[in-house]
Amino acid sequence: MFQAPVSTPMACTGGPLSALDAELLIVPWFQGDTIDAVAGLDAATGGEFARALTSKEFQAKPYELFFTAITDMSWRARRVAIIGGGSGERGSDLIRRLATAAGLAARQRYVARAAFAVRGQGDAGDLAQAVAEGLTLAEFYGGSYKTEDPPPAAVPSWTVAAFETGDGAQAVAAVARGRILGECSNLARELSNEPGNTLTPREFAKRATALAGEAGVKTEILDEVQIEKLGMGLLLGVARGSAEPPRLMVFRYDPPGAPATPVLGLVGKGVTFDTGGISIKPAEKMEQMKDDMAGGAAVACAMRAIALLKAPMRVIGIVPTTENMPGGKAIKPGDVLKSASGKTVEVINTDAEGRLILGDGLWYARQLGATHLVDVATLTGAVVVALGKVTTGIFGAPDEWVERVRTVGNRAGDRMWPLPLFDDYKDQIKSDIADLLNTGGRAAGSITAALFLKAFVDDVPWVHLDIAGTAWSDESKPYLPKGPSGVAVRTLAALAFEKF
């Protein structure tokens, strides 16, 4: 039975920095800070920090690190790492990234006990939570299949110094919340990092439902027979080319005393490997298509976080999962599939498969009672052309719901930018022989894909998050190593605490 790894505790404390018991004390420093911005810090280093600032050895550029010894024996920490925060905004998004960058640096130096001093602008609880999330994100290791490299450094024992005086209950709760959200993001990254030969649809369903189930979420896995009884011709059509059968994961979180409405419905794309099918992809970078289930991983791990954090509203999660392979029974360009909603789809490109399985998934979430929908998918290369690798595309209706999700996402550290869904684009997905085409061509590709999904939600408030650019980092950044990012987990979990 698959189980999530047991985490180490994360402490939260207050009082003077001199009292922190740690091998390494991490302090954010911003351009424009005066030397006494953190009381006693320069004196504790014997003036070494002031010297580094004066000589411009340390300029507080974003993610710049300066290490020096603490010579004042009245301080319990023996070394300090000062991390630059630049001259811009000092909100929770930056603090989260600074914590991750510093946490990665601490691990590279085999630090066993590290403390992070919370500094920034905004709500103290939000900042403390962001630090906890960032330090936890630094724990992810993507090389689990390496046999010759030395093992990674053990995860340090973290302490968050979040308050100086008074009652720290808010900060303690914020750190505990951030720890859970960071861990669930890492679990989604682990799933996305698994190769396609180990994470088949059946194995994905087994692991994902175990992660959510052990947190108290009711889970169900529907097999191909049950999927066929539901009439999900789009999901079954995509699965036809693979020897691996599809699965449909169903998650239900129904806390005691929760009102009948609203019911948040989360739907994630779960293609465990995407060759493109008959419309096969180029060989270059096809190996990265193991992460085409990142949206499904985000939904499953968000459901876990929602239950652990005891969200007050009912939440339904749906993850259709399959491979997209070019087998002898695979769907072909020109084929017509019938969805569970009754709509028919002419398949023009078998590599536009994610929207097909999401169409059936969105329909089923509505059947189970979802009143507000959010789907998450590595859906289109077009969104990468539009927004690059740093911003998620957000689509939907009505505008109020889109803006609500966008605001929550930006606060959670998942940057989003809205793209239009004007009716003029609908002509691109009109079929001569069926209700819809599964692709509208290259022009406005991410928009026409979203319009295809909109056909399966009717008038239910709905948002589509296209994470094709943000689910995977092609190059290492100070706050994000190369590999899966865990995008959208924190956003989806936070939505379960909103009032709408």
pLDDT of residue 15: 86
Domain end point (choices 185, 210, 243): 185
Query: Looking at residue 6, what is its pLDDT?
Result: 65
Confidence of residue 165 (pLDDT cuts 50, 70, 90): low
Backbone angles phi, psi at 136, to 5 degrees: -70, -40
The pLDDT value given to residue 168 = 86
User: In this structure, are 290 and 325 located in the same domain?
Assistant: yes
The whole-number pLDDT of residue 151 equals: 87
Residue 226 pLDDT > 70, yes or no?
yes
Give the DSSP H or E segment for 162: strand 157-163
What number is the average pLDDT over the span 171-195? 97
Average pLDDT over all residues of the chain: 96
Average pLDDT value for residue range 417-440: 98
- pLDDT surpasses 70 at 325: yes
User: Is residue 491 predicted with pLDDT exceeding 90?
Assistant: yes
Residue 23: CATH number of its domain: 3.40.220.10
State which amino acid sits at residue 119.
Answer: R
- Same domain? For 431 and 462 the reply is yes
Examine the pLDDT at 394 and tell me if it is beyond 70.
yes
Same domain, 174 and 200: no
- Please write the tens of the pLDDT for every residue from 116-160: 999 999 999 999 999 999 999 999 999 999 999 988 889 999 999
Domain region containing 180: 10-185
Q: Is the pLDDT of residue 193 over 60?
A: yes
Angle formed at CA 461 by CA 456 and CA 463, multiple of 5 degrees: 75
Residue 9: predicted pLDDT: 73
243 and 327 in contact (C-beta within 8 Å)?
yes
- Do 224 and 287 belong together in one domain? yes
Long-range pairs for 454-460 at CB < 8 Å and ≥24 separation? 454/395, 454/396, 454/397, 454/421, 455/343, 455/359, 456/339, 456/341, 456/343, 456/358, 456/359, 456/360, 456/362, 456/363, 457/362, 457/366, 457/373, 458/366, 460/366, 460/370, 460/371, 460/372, 460/373
How confident is residue 259, by pLDDT bands cut at 50, 70 and 90?
Answer: very high
pLDDT recorded at residue 164: 67
Would you state the structure tokens that stand for residue 330, as one six-digit string? 């695979």
Q: What is the pLDDT of residues 400-412, one digit of tens each?
A: 999 999 999 999 9
Q: What is the pLDDT of residue 4?
A: 64
Dihedral of CA 258/263/268/270: which sign? positive
Q: Which residues does the annotation mark as catalytic?
A: 281, 355
Cα gap 249→319, rounded to integer Å:
5
Q: Is residue 4 part of a domain?
A: no
pLDDT tens-digit series, residues 442-462: 999 999 999 999 999 999 999
Asked whether the predicted pLDDT for residue 7 surpasses 70, the reply is no
| Same domain flag for 171 and 238 | no
Shared domain check, 215 and 162:
no
Residue 9 DSSP one-character state? P
Sign of CA dihedral 91, 97, 100, 105: negative
Are 117 and 240 in the same domain?
Answer: no
CATH code for position 212: 3.40.630.10
- 202, 333: one domain: yes
Total structural domains in the chain?
A: 2
The first and second tokens of residue 117, run together, are: 């001093």
79 in Cβ contact with 68 (< 8 Å):
yes
pLDDT of the residue at 1: 53
In a domain, 2, yes or no: no
Contact 393, 449 (CB under 8 A): no
Instruction: For residue 25, report the phi and psi dihedrals to the nearest 5 degrees.
Output: -100, 125
* Domain boundary residue, one of 185, 207, 238: 185
Q: Does residue 5 belong to any structural domain of this protein?
A: no
Output the pLDDT for position 206: 98
Q: What share of the chain has pLDDT > 70, as a percent?
A: 98
Collapsed DSSP state (helix, strand, coil) of residue 22: coil
In which band, very low, low, confident or very high, does the pLDDT at 293 lie, cut at 50, 70 and 90? Answer: very high
299 or 162, which is more confident? 299
Alpha helices in 309-387 (DSSP H): 354-367, 381-387
Instruction: Check whether 92 has a pLDDT greater than 70.
Output: yes
What is the distance between the alpha carbons of residues 10 and 136, in angstroms, rounded to a whole number?
9
> Among 145, 167, 185, where does a domain finish?
185
Residues ≥6 apart with Cβ < 8 Å to 207:
2, 191, 199
pLDDT beyond 80 at 197: yes
CA distance 233 to 241: 14
Counted residue by residue, the chain has a size of 500
Instruction: Please indicate, yes or no, if residue 1 is contained in any of the structural domains.
Output: no
Count CB atoms within 10 A of the CB of residue 375: 31
Do 219 and 143 belong to one domain?
no
- % of the chain exceeding 90 in pLDDT: 94
